[in-house]
Amino acid sequence: MKNVRLPGVDTAIKYLRPDATFDLYNRTFTRWSCPHGSEPPEWEEVERQIAHDVEVYNYYLYARNRETEYGDWKDQLNLLYDDIKSGNLENGKWVQMVEAVKARHPKPEGQPPQ
């Protein structure tokens, strides 16, 4: 899963102006400092970035859910070991578990948001 930012005003501004430091009250910058001299983003730009971040965050929900349900790596390796020892790699307990998780949390169709 790619590194997905948690959507929000602060993360959108930090993405748009990575070197800036700021304080914000409602939609007003009460302090703005940027070593490169860039101005604060317009609020519409921040809103567009938030909307994009929400789109990306929602797209990768399936991956976060899968990661949670797959469980601990040690438990997965134990299942896989048992399947190897029993000679059942095609439809063993580990494969069944992974397929069930993927069925509950399918990957969205189409390309992820850029």
Is 114 domain-assigned?
no
DSSP notation for 41-87: PPHHHHHHHHHHHHHHHHHTHHHHHHHHHH--HHHHHHHHHHHHHHT
pTM reported for the whole predicted model:
0.80
pLDDT, one tens digit per residue, over 87-107 is 999 999 999 999 999 999 999
pLDDT tens digits for range 19-30: 999 999 999 999
pLDDT reported for residue 1: 59
Q: Is residue 38 located within the same domain as residue 86?
A: no
Is residue 13 domain-shared with residue 46, that is, in the same domain?
A: yes
110 within a domain of the structure (yes/no)? no
Asked if residue 113 is part of any domain, the answer here is no
In a domain, 112, yes or no: no
Residue 94 domain-assigned? yes
Q: Do both 66 and 88 map to the same domain?
A: yes
Residue 2 has a pLDDT of: 61
Task: Give me the pLDDT at residue 4, please.
Answer: 83
Q: Do 48 and 69 have their domain in common?
A: no
75 & 52 share domain = no
Residue 32, pLDDT score? 97
Containing structural domain, residue 100: 60-105
pLDDT tens digits for 46-101? 999 999 999 999 999 999 999 999 999 999 999 999 999 999 999 999 999 999 99
Question: Are 85 and 35 contained in the same domain?
Answer: no
58-71: burial string, b at 16+ Cβ within 10 Å, e else: ebbebbeebeeeee
Number of domains in the chain: 2
Is residue 54 domain-shared with residue 65, that is, in the same domain? no
